Amino acid sequence: MPETALPTSGLDPEIAARLRRDAAGLVAAVVQQHDTHEVLMVGWMDDEALHRTLTTGRVTFWSRSRQEYWRKGDTSGHVQWVKAVSLDCDGDALLVQVDQVGAACHTGARTCFEAGGPLPAVVGTRA
């Protein structure tokens, strides 16, 4: 049975007060490999998902499509072990540094950005 949103969270109130959530109560979570700094994926967290991430050593997200919590790697085996979590200056994004086991992307690619491919862009230069 899928686990649905919980009415309350165990998140530290001081941390919760620093978050700037979207209309759905979510904050973007950028996931990065801790040693190479490779950006692996972006997921979404509510207070409870962040609480679980901070207290279990594994990354938990809120699935916007399924409306349930999911812990990365529970079905795929591609676990994300938490190494550090940082909040940006505006409080609306998290940087979650992990030790990624296997692919981060649901397509089987190492990163979700590898799977999407580069877009054509004019390369800027510093004056």
Q: Let me know if residue 6 belongs to a domain.
A: no
CATH number of the structural domain spanning residue 105: 3.10.20.810
- 127 within a domain of the structure (yes/no): no
Q: Is residue 63 part of a domain?
A: yes
65/117 Cα distance (integer angstroms): 23
Whether residue 21 lies inside any domain: the answer is yes
pLDDT band at 115 (very low <50, low <70, confident <90, very high): confident
Confidence of residue 2 (pLDDT cuts 50, 70, 90): very low
- Quick: pLDDT tens for 47-87: 999 999 999 999 999 999 999 999 999 999 999 999 999 99
- Per the domain annotation, does 32 fall within a domain? yes
pLDDT band at 4 (very low <50, low <70, confident <90, very high): very low
Say what the pLDDT of residue 8 is: 64
The reply to whether 30 falls in a domain is yes
Domain that includes residue 64, residue range: 13-113
23 domain residue, yes or no: yes
Task: Give how many domains the chain has, as a whole number.
Answer: 1
Neighbours of 34 (CB within 10 A): 15
| Residue 7 clears pLDDT 70, i.e. is over it | no
Q: Is the pLDDT of residue 114 over 60?
A: yes
Kindly report the number of other CB atoms within 10 A of residue 33's CB atom.
18
